[in-house]
Amino acid sequence: MTRQRPISPFECIYFADLGAAPLPLYNMPEFVESLVRGRPAPGLMRRALGLLTERHPILRCEVISGGEELLLRVRDRVEPPLTVLDGVEETYAELINSRPDWTESLLHAWLLTDGERSQVVLGVHHGVADGRSAFALLDEFWQYYTALAAGADPAPERRQELPAAIDSRLAGSFPDAEIDALVEAIAQGADETKPAVLPTEGVGRPDRPAAARRFVVDRLEFAPETTDAVVAAAQARGVTVNSLVTGLVLTAVRAQLAPEYVPLTLTCGHGVDLRTRLTPELPLSTVLNCITGLQTTLTVEHEDRPETVGREVADQVAGALTRRDPERFLLAALRAGARGIAVPVPVVSYGISNVGRIPAHPVPEDMELLRFGGTANAPGMPPKIGVASFGGRLLVQNEYDSWAYGPEQMGRLRETLRAALTGLAME
C-alpha cells in the first residue's frame, strides 16, 4: 500500500521553489467557490472537510525531504483550516491573490459572509489537484455538507493509497526513440515565427493595483434562457460553444492588435486533462493534477468569422489529440529538463480553458445556490478565458494578471465578448 511516494517531475514544478522562473508555479493554489443565499454552519463545514480528507489521502499528505527528492507522505489525520471572513466580492478578490500555508494542510477553506449571502471557497495545492478535480471536490464537499445538515452521518471509505502521478502513469507509453527525437528538437530550438500577443500595458504603471488585487477574475454570466440561445446559435453554425467563444476571443484580439486589414499569427493555449487520455480513464473524482498544455497556431484575417476561426482551432486540437501530442510533448519536456536542456515557455496569444458542463451541486433546503466558479493564476501566465456551463448558466470568465495587462484592454475584450454573445442570443 503506497502511503509515501516521490513527488514526480511533473508535480515538482509546483513544489520546488525555482526562484526567478519564467512561470513561477511554486505553491500555486487552485480556488473553487460557491455563492449561496443562506449561512453555512462552520462546525458542519469542518466535518465535511474532514470527510474529504478521509476519502482522498493526497489531501492528508505532507511534503518531506527524501534525500535528493521531495516526497508526499500520508498522515493519519489532517484538519483543513477554515477561516471565516466578512464580505464577499471584495474579500474574494483579495483571497484569490493569497498563498495559503500548505505545511498545515494541502486543502484550505474559507467562509465569506455578507448579510444573507455566503461564499464557500476551497483552496487546494495545484501540485495535487487541477481545476477539474477541484470542482469535483467542491461537489463532494456539498454532498457531505447537505447530508450532515439533514442529520445524516455519511461515512466515506477511508482510503490510504496515494494515486500515482500522471507522468508516472504515462511512463513507457511511447518508444524511447520517439521521445528522444522530440527531446532533440527541443534542444535544437524551434525556428518559428512568434505569435502576436497583447502588449503588457500594465508593466511599470504607477497606478497598478496592490499585490492583494493583482490577479483579476472578470465574469460574464448568462441566464439559462440566454445560454440556451447561445448554444442554439453555435449549433446552427456547426460548432461547439467553446469553439465559438475561442473564435470570438481570437478575432477580438486580432482586432485590438491590428485594426487595419492585417492578418496576424495567433497561438491559442489549451488545457488538456490527461486523466481522459488513459486506458482506463481516471474518474474526475480522483484528486490529482492531470492538466498539461497544448498550443494551436493559425493566421487570423480581418474578415474571418469567429465560427470559422473556432472550427479551425477545434480541428487542430482534434488532430493533436489523435497524435497524442499532449502526452508525447509532456514526457519529452520532462526528459529534456532531466538532461539539463532548457525547455522554453510557450508564447501564447490567449489561453482557453474548456471546463465543460458542470451540474449544479446540492445545497441544504434552507439555502439557494446562486453561482459557483473557480480560478488559478500565477505571475507570467498569459490571460485566459474559461468557458463553462454551471447548472445551465453559461460562464465566460477572463482571468489575467493586472500587473501585466491593463484594465482598458481587458475591458474592451470583455465588452466585445458580452456584445457578441448577447447578439447571438437575440438572433
**Could you report the per-residue pLDDT of 242-298, keeping only the tens digit for each?**
999 999 999 999 999 988 888 999 999 999 999 999 999 999 889 999 999 999 999
Examine residue 266 and state whether it is found in any structural domain, yes or no: yes
> pLDDT grade, residue 28 (50/70/90)?
very high
Alpha-carbon span 286 to 275, nearest angstrom: 9
Same domain for 140 and 211, yes or no, is no
Give the pLDDT score at 278.
94
Q: What is the CATH number of the domain that holds 288?
A: 3.30.559.30
**Could you report the per-residue pLDDT of 405-415, keeping only the tens digit for each?**
988 899 999 99
Give 7's strand partners. Answer: none
Task: Collect all residues with Cβ–Cβ distance below 8 Å to 267 and sequence separation of at least 6.
Answer: 195, 295, 296, 297, 346, 347, 348, 349
Same domain for 275 and 396, yes or no, is yes
Same domain for 84 and 140, yes or no, is yes
Alpha-carbon span 241 to 394, nearest angstrom: 9
Q: Cβ(296)–Cβ(268) under 8 Å? A: yes
Alpha-carbon span 308 to 318, nearest angstrom: 15
Same domain for 300 and 368, yes or no, is yes
Extract the C-alpha cell encoding 22. 519564467
Same domain for 115 and 56, yes or no, is yes
Which amino acid, residue 143?
Q
Closest listed residue to residue 109, CA positions, set 93, 120, 94:
120
> CA dihedral defined by 229, 231, 237, 239, rounded to 10 degrees?
170
CB burial class (10 A; 0-12, 13-18, 19+) of residue 1?
exposed
Q: Cβ(29)–Cβ(126) under 8 Å? A: yes
Helix/strand/coil for 333 = helix
Q: Which of 149, 184, 210 is the last residue of a domain?
A: 149
The radius of gyration of the chain's CA atoms, rounded to the nearest angstrom, is: 22
**Could you report the per-residue pLDDT of 121-173, keeping only the tens digit for each?**
999 999 999 999 999 999 999 999 999 999 999 999 999 999 999 999 999 99
HSE, CB side, 13 Å, CA atoms: give it for residue 291.
21
Examine residue 290 and state whether it is found in any structural domain, yes or no: yes
Closest listed residue to residue 107, CA positions, set 87, 147, 77:
77
Examine residue 70 and state whether it is found in any structural domain, yes or no: yes
Examine residue 156 and state whether it is found in any structural domain, yes or no: no
Alpha-carbon span 287 to 163, nearest angstrom: 8
Same domain for 298 and 334, yes or no, is yes
Same domain for 89 and 179, yes or no, is no
Alpha-carbon span 336 to 269, nearest angstrom: 21
Same domain for 170 and 144, yes or no, is no
Examine residue 161 and state whether it is found in any structural domain, yes or no: no
Mean pLDDT along residues 332-361: 92
Task: Collect all residues with Cβ–Cβ distance below 8 Å to 247 and sequence separation of at least 6.
Answer: 239, 305, 306, 307, 308, 309, 310, 311, 313
Q: Cβ(31)–Cβ(123) under 8 Å? A: yes
Res 1 pLDDT > 60 = no
Alpha-carbon span 157 to 309, nearest angstrom: 47
Sequential DSSP letters for 119-185? EEEEEEETTT--HHHHHHHHHHHHHHHHHHHTT---------PPPPPHHHHHTTSS-HHHHHHHHHH
Same domain for 135 and 203, yes or no, is no
Helix/strand/coil for 295 = strand
Helices 42-55, 131-149: axis angle to 10 degrees equals: 130
Same domain for 285 and 401, yes or no, is yes
Alpha-carbon span 236 to 228, nearest angstrom: 12
Q: Which of 118, 149, 180 is the last residue of a domain?
A: 149
Give the pLDDT score at 191.
64
Examine residue 155 and state whether it is found in any structural domain, yes or no: no
Give 31's strand partners. Answer: 123, 375
**Could you report the per-residue pLDDT of 198-245, keeping only the tens digit for each?**
999 777 788 889 999 999 999 999 999 999 999 999 999 999 999 999
Number of domains in the chain: 2
Q: What is the CATH number of the domain that holds 23?
A: 3.30.559.10
Mean pLDDT along residues 322-345: 95
Give the pLDDT score at 261.
85
Same domain for 294 and 378, yes or no, is yes
Examine residue 158 and state whether it is found in any structural domain, yes or no: no
Which amino acid, residue 70?
L
The parent domain of residue 113 ranges over: 4-149
Q: What angle do CA 334, 340, 343 make, to 5 degrees?
A: 55
Res 39 pLDDT > 90 = yes
Alpha-carbon span 111 to 120, nearest angstrom: 5
Examine residue 195 and state whether it is found in any structural domain, yes or no: yes
Give the pLDDT score at 158.
94
Q: Which of 88, 120, 149 is the last residue of a domain?
A: 149
The beta strand positions in 312-367, using DSSP E, are 350-358
End-to-end CA distance of the chain: 58
Same domain for 125 and 220, yes or no, is no
Compute the mean pLDDT over every residue in the chain, rounded to the nearest whole number: 94
Give the pLDDT score at 23.
77
Extract the C-alpha cell encoding 352. 482557453
**Could you report the per-residue pLDDT of 75-116, keeping only the tens digit for each?**
999 999 999 999 999 999 999 999 999 999 999 999 999 999
Greater confidence (355 vs 268) lies with: 268
Which amino acid, residue 67?
G
Sequential DSSP letters for 386-411? EEEEETTEEEEEEEEETTTS-HHHHH
> pLDDT grade, residue 21 (50/70/90)?
low
Give 65's strand partners. Answer: 70
Q: Over pLDDT 90: what percentage of the chain?
A: 87
Give the pLDDT score at 189.
82
